[in-house]
Structure 1
Amino acid sequence: MSAYKSLFKQTFIYGLATVLPRMISFLLVIVHTKYFDDRELYGELSVVFAYFVIFNVLLTYGMETAFFRFYSNQPKSKQNDVVNTSTWSLIITSVIFLALAFLNLNSISQFLDIKADYLAYVIGILILDVLVVIPFAYMRANKKPVKFAVIKVTNVSINFLLNFFFLAWLVQLHSKFEFLEAIYVDDFQISYVFIANLIASLSSLVFVLPFYFKLKFSLNTKLLKQMLNYSWPILVAGLAFSVNEVFDRILLNYLLPEDNPKEIIGAYSACYKIAVFMMLYVTAFRLGIEPFFFSHSKSKQPEVAYATITKYFVIFGALILIGVVVFINPIKSIILQKESYYEALAIVPILLVANFCLGIYHNLSVWYKVTDRTKFGAYISTVGAIITLAVNFSLIPYIGYMGSAIATLAAYFSMMLISYLYSRKYYPIPFQLKRISLYFCVSVVISVISFYVMPENYIFGILSLLGYITLIYLNEKDEIKHMLQN
């Protein structure tokens, strides 16, 4: 099987492993917007999960990517050292965090302005999620995508079913059934969401317990030092990414001029979820591409393969961008169960383009990963985070959540551009820049016209979508045929 076919197969399977769970999680937006009493609750939940994302990055500190880097470069006799060292490193730091967090629970609660009960649940979920990081990475490194997919889908299925049980059945019907009344707690909706998440995370840990039964208590300190030297820039990059991805909710909570900012945050966060279609594609592609980058870095002319992969990422990403924007009205009717959430719908095209840029950046990041210059990832992400903060602080007081959407786009576009410029110096890749730029710009122009200039004009939208597909066919048909034949 050719390298491209192998990549597309891996991406497809990991895509299913990512898309199916995310789609089930996506259904949670429907449940939450339908059964939460008001937008304020959804806003409050979004702020808590923003902190969750940041702490998750801190607790994994780039060890997953470091695992891939060192595991793939070791002879088989040494690979167990990487597994044991990376796993025990995360276990030890998680135990320390758990002890410190619960000893200072009330102080942290006051500092973050999060209820102590919510914080306790979040700490539990964080620890459980960290403990499955290396087992999942081990599955990916050993090409076990089916097992990976089954566990991921089971996790989110349990989470969704418990959310539906607690919010739709228990909260809405407890007074009608005695057995539900016995377990019902008043004003407990957000806590129910965290309990469902906690149980789902515990189920994933149970599934990977065989991995821990085989684990040996072996901590190679020399190897750990090397892994930490490799991973710390990824930690910085991860923190910067988390700022770009979720810190806007926290800033909106403090900078919005409204008396009740969490209502606005609720609408913003719900509409933000519509951009998940691009996020799903980007995440699925990244999961498939990361092992490919490392395993093919020493092959003959890997740069040519990387350039081709990036082009096709842009082709399909542009297709998703146009498709979501053209059909955004039926999509919003399905996802957002109360019209009050439509208020922030104008952010969707901006965030779709922003995440498209982020996906291109992930493809471009191969240059600093395969050359062990991960510090550049930290530098570039930090620049993105600075842009995010600066634009948010500048625009939120004047244009509210639109400022946050613009900040996200500005950050991701800047990161994409900076990474491309550095790659030309340190790891030249023969990108088909004219075609990539053409596909990207055509999709953005069509989306802007379809949403802001000619909204709900399906004739224009569908004809534009067909026109884009025709453009791809005319330009790429020979190369696609050649790839499929090899």
Structure 2
Amino acid sequence: MSIPEEKARVAASSQAPGAPAREARKPPSVGTHYMRYSVGSLLVMVAGFVSFPILTRLLDNTEYGVLGYYNTWVLIAIALAKLGGQHAIIRFYPHNADRDTYTHFSTNLVVLPMLLSFTLWGTVTAGLLFWEWSGRHTFSSVFWCVVLLTPVLVMGSFVQMVVRASERSGIVMATRVSQRWLELGFGVAFVIFIERTALSVFQGRLAAAALLLAYFTWWSFRHLRFSRSMVDRAAIVGALAYGMPLMVNEFAAMGLAASDRILIKEITGDFAAVGIYTIGYALAQQINLFMHAALSEAFVPVANRTYGSGGDEAVRDLKGRMLLPIAYASIGIATMVLAIGQEAIVALAGADKAASGAVFVITGTVMALYPLFDISSYGLLLQKRSKTVLMITVAAASLSIATNLVLIPRLGYMGAAWATVVTYGALWSLNFILCPRGLRRLPDARTLVTALGCATVLLALIWATDLFGVQSAWGRVFVGGGLFIALYALPVWLFDSRLRAILPRFRRGGI
């Protein structure tokens, strides 16, 4: 495969040749990464907010339930097919390596694991085709769309992980945003012009996948280096030994995050109930996308580099700088979800989807607080304790399934929402307790008192005045937003001078 241009290679002689071309540069800070990932996540979130009201109005609860149900199987299929290879890439990427070292990495930790994933997918697909051909079972058209999507999304995950590990967050942002908007454009067009069904949405995703496959293939031939002479069985086995527990962990995390929709369908037998739950949960996931997904992608590579150079104390210092704005943001957004989450669902999805509001209020609050606890307890993976992470996630996933099995028969889809609270609370507690003591870091008392105090005043006024009697959903959302600025955002900005000092540096990438 081709190598970077000679000028760029000479200018960055300490860089891994064959990686995405880059000139000699100081590694971006976590603030720079977070700003890039936040912009990208914002654009992806905007796509979600564009598609959400369109699809929730064009698809009834049953079709939306089919969409949510099979989207869950997409996540599970991808988690299985990747075999944990993406985790080894992010952990063992050879920063400042020479040409041969990068070729060794690319061969054994990227190209061969990717080919192994494709082989696994092909074998499973052949088995499914034979099963259907034999007449023992008939799979739906939506199911086969899931099967065809899987290898493209797996390849995209490998490619984006190499770029992310090299700390080229701008490229990751561009590809992810392009992917989401292509899926939005094709999916909505197919629903409007072909048929108002979940199948049309998946057909649109397949059309977008065809374009993505062309790009990922081009990128791979341009940037990934393969050498038969450098095939290293020990390196492959080592990468699998590190990544496989995390793959099982990812699969368990899928069970934690997605088993609820499967269980609602299996217990109630009603796709409409799945649809009601999925609509509320999908909006909650937009919060998770903007806050936790962007933050994690920015934080983890920098934490790895910081830990390698400065150890526990350097990571704790990094966490301390990060937790100041994160605590204010998490508590503020959780407060707004509690205050006007019901109105937000009605405004975006329509009055006929009002039943999803209660789901969004509960799960959205959980998603808003998740980054605060996740950063505080991050540390096990820095010490390569992936098996401990696996045990924690498996325990939480098992608790999730058990809690859903108890609550869904009693409370319906709302049981799944409350099960989310129980299981995420257990997950946070286990991660923090088992995090190495030297790597734990909570927000300081001043930050928590200021944020919780302002949040209490805001909630008290909103609930006491019922948003001054405003009736329309959009009107209540805008009134709530105005009160949020006046009673939360401005007070914390004025009361905490540290926030005023850190945010300008954060915007310049200096955190």
TM range (shorter): 0.7 to 0.9
Report the equivalent of 1:25.
48
1:42/1:482 Cα in 2 relative to 1: closer, same or farther (>3 Å)? closer
Partners of 2:247 and 2:147 lie apart in 1 by 19
Matched, 1:264 2:276: no
1:450/1:293 Cα in 2 relative to 1: closer, same or farther (>3 Å)? farther
Contact 1:85 1:224 in 2 (8 A): yes
Partners of 1:430 and 1:117 lie apart in 2 by 49
Report the equivalent of 2:498.
478
Partners of 1:464 and 1:160 lie apart in 2 by 31
Contact 2:103 2:227 in 1 (8 A): no
Report the equivalent of 2:174.
150
Shift of 1:252: 0.4
Partners of 1:382 and 1:440 lie apart in 2 by 33
Which of the numbers 75, 80, 89 marks the counterpart of 1:67?
89
Matched, 1:7 2:17: no
Report the equivalent of 2:307.
297
Matches for 1:288-437 after TM superposition, within 5 Å:
288-300=298-310, 301-302=313-314, 303-328=316-341, 331-337=344-350, 339-425=351-437, 427-435=438-446, 437=448
Partners of 2:159 and 2:390 lie apart in 1 by 25
In the superposition, the TM-score normalised over structure 1's length comes to 0.85
1:167/1:241 Cα in 2 relative to 1: closer, same or farther (>3 Å)? same
Which of the numbers 169, 172, 182 marks the counterpart of 2:193?
169
For structure 2, the 5+ residue unaligned runs are: 1-25, 469-475
1:409/1:135 Cα in 2 relative to 1: closer, same or farther (>3 Å)? same
1:16-67 superposed Cα distances (whole Å, 9 cap, x missing partner): 223312431343222222222x211111121111111111111123222210
1:476/1:195 Cα in 2 relative to 1: closer, same or farther (>3 Å)? same
Give RMSD over aligned pairs.
3.2
Contact 1:19 1:284 in 2 (8 A): no
| Number of positions where the alignment pairs a residue of Structure 1 with one of Structure 2 | 461
Matched, 1:92 2:116: yes
Contact 1:102 1:120 in 2 (8 A): no
Contact 2:281 2:363 in 1 (8 A): yes
Matched, 1:468 2:468: no
Report the equivalent of 1:121.
145
In the superposition, the TM-score normalised over structure 2's length comes to 0.81
Partners of 1:18 and 1:65 lie apart in 2 by 21
The one-letter code sitting in structure 1 at the alignment partner of 2:121 is: F
Please state whether the residue corresponding to 1:115 is helix, strand or coil: coil
1:348-382 superposed Cα distances (whole Å, 9 cap, x missing partner): 22112222343234324531111111222111111
Partners of 1:75 and 1:445 lie apart in 2 by 52
1:40/1:94 Cα in 2 relative to 1: closer, same or farther (>3 Å)? same
Shift of 1:440: 7.1
Please state whether the residue corresponding to 1:206 is helix, strand or coil: helix
Partners of 1:113 and 1:355 lie apart in 2 by 38
Report the equivalent of 2:226.
216
1:211/1:463 Cα in 2 relative to 1: closer, same or farther (>3 Å)? closer
1:60/1:91 Cα in 2 relative to 1: closer, same or farther (>3 Å)? same
Partners of 1:440 and 1:481 lie apart in 2 by 17
Report the equivalent of 2:262.
250
Contact 1:27 1:335 in 2 (8 A): no
The one-letter code sitting in structure 2 at the alignment partner of 1:229 is: A
1:190/1:27 Cα in 2 relative to 1: closer, same or farther (>3 Å)? same
Contact 1:43 1:264 in 2 (8 A): yes
1:59/1:294 Cα in 2 relative to 1: closer, same or farther (>3 Å)? same
Please state whether the residue corresponding to 2:397 is helix, strand or coil: helix
Partners of 2:85 and 2:393 lie apart in 1 by 17
Contact 1:252 1:396 in 2 (8 A): yes
Which of the numbers 45, 48, 70 marks the counterpart of 1:48?
70
Please state whether the residue corresponding to 2:307 is helix, strand or coil: coil
Partners of 1:359 and 1:437 lie apart in 2 by 15
Shift of 1:460: 7.7
Shift of 1:263: 0.8
Contact 1:326 1:462 in 2 (8 A): no
Shift of 1:100: 2.3
1:312/1:277 Cα in 2 relative to 1: closer, same or farther (>3 Å)? same
Partners of 1:392 and 1:56 lie apart in 2 by 24
Partners of 2:133 and 2:457 lie apart in 1 by 46
Report the equivalent of 2:159.
135
Partners of 1:27 and 1:109 lie apart in 2 by 40
Deviates more, 1:290-299 or 1:5-14: 5-14
Partners of 1:123 and 1:446 lie apart in 2 by 50
Please state whether the residue corresponding to 1:320 is helix, strand or coil: helix
Contact 2:376 2:440 in 1 (8 A): no
Deviates more, 1:69-78 or 1:56-65: 69-78
The one-letter code sitting in structure 2 at the alignment partner of 1:59 is: A
The one-letter code sitting in structure 2 at the alignment partner of 1:476 is: D
For structure 1, the 5+ residue unaligned runs are: 173-188
1:207-252 superposed Cα distances (whole Å, 9 cap, x missing partner): 2333321431544221111111111221122112111211101000
Identity across aligned pairs (percent)? 16
Partners of 2:123 and 2:462 lie apart in 1 by 50
1:464/1:11 Cα in 2 relative to 1: closer, same or farther (>3 Å)? closer
Partners of 1:66 and 1:284 lie apart in 2 by 20
1:392-414 superposed Cα distances (whole Å, 9 cap, x missing partner): 11111111111111111111121
Deviates more, 1:300-309 or 1:324-333: 324-333
Report the equivalent of 1:197.
205
Report the equivalent of 2:6.
none
The one-letter code sitting in structure 2 at the alignment partner of 1:434 is: A
1:433/1:413 Cα in 2 relative to 1: closer, same or farther (>3 Å)? farther
Contact 2:62 2:271 in 1 (8 A): yes
Partners of 1:98 and 1:292 lie apart in 2 by 36
Contact 2:330 2:372 in 1 (8 A): no
1:226/1:454 Cα in 2 relative to 1: closer, same or farther (>3 Å)? farther
